[in-house]
Amino acid sequence: MRENRVWARLLGLEGAAVEGVKIDDEGQAVVAVRPHHPERDRCGVCGRRALGFDLGEGRRRWRALDLGATLAFLEADAPRVKCPEHGVVVCAVPWARHGSRFTAAFEQQVAWPAVNTSGSAVAELMRISWRSVGRICERVAVEAGRDIDLLAGLRRLPCRGGGRTDRPSGGGRLRRDRPARRGPRPAPARHRPSRRRPYR
């Protein structure tokens, strides 16, 4: 339906479909969603296809971006799969990171002001706890670090002992140049006190 596509656009949903929208007893907007078929039955850690294990703990909610002054949540089933590498885990969903109770769009909105202001101010603005702000920033930083090569463009590192570490421009292992050998250092001269009597 066109109405459901509008809700999906407002909530920033990709790879998922909206099944319905309701307002609960607390005045919160609850949007029922489901992943598209290509996004189903994937490991929540690595994202690979895996065999279904069970239905998990039933339906789960994720906090989404507020709709004006109204709190919004996504609600969907959370089945589990058996991944050959990571064992039994909750299925991945296209709208949230693994192990999070917030949508990816919500976490991005929290992480940006958290860089420039205090966690307590962000917590009050987004109406979450300050501990949640810290965990959100950790997840966003980990995901961002996967796409960034911290050694990109690095060609030389200073090393102790006068050597240097070079990295080829095309990547590869770091190579350490050995410092030039030096001959044995001469032993320092010993200054013995004079035994001569002082001149009078």
Q: pLDDT tens across 107-148, in order? A: 999 999 998 889 999 999 999 999 999 999 999 998 888 777
Looking at the structure, tell me whether residues 76 and 126 fall in a common domain: no
Identify the bridge partners of residue 91 per DSSP, sorted by sequence position: 43
Looking at the structure, tell me whether residues 61 and 5 fall in a common domain: yes
Which has the closest alpha carbon to 79: 107, 50, 118? Answer: 50
Identify the bridge partners of residue 70 per DSSP, sorted by sequence position: 67
Looking at the structure, tell me whether residues 107 and 87 fall in a common domain: no
Q: State whether the Cα torsion 27-21-99-82 is positive or negative.
A: positive
Looking at the structure, tell me whether residues 1 and 74 fall in a common domain: yes
pTM of the model: 0.70
Domain span at residue 23 reads 1-94
Residue 197 lies in a domain: no
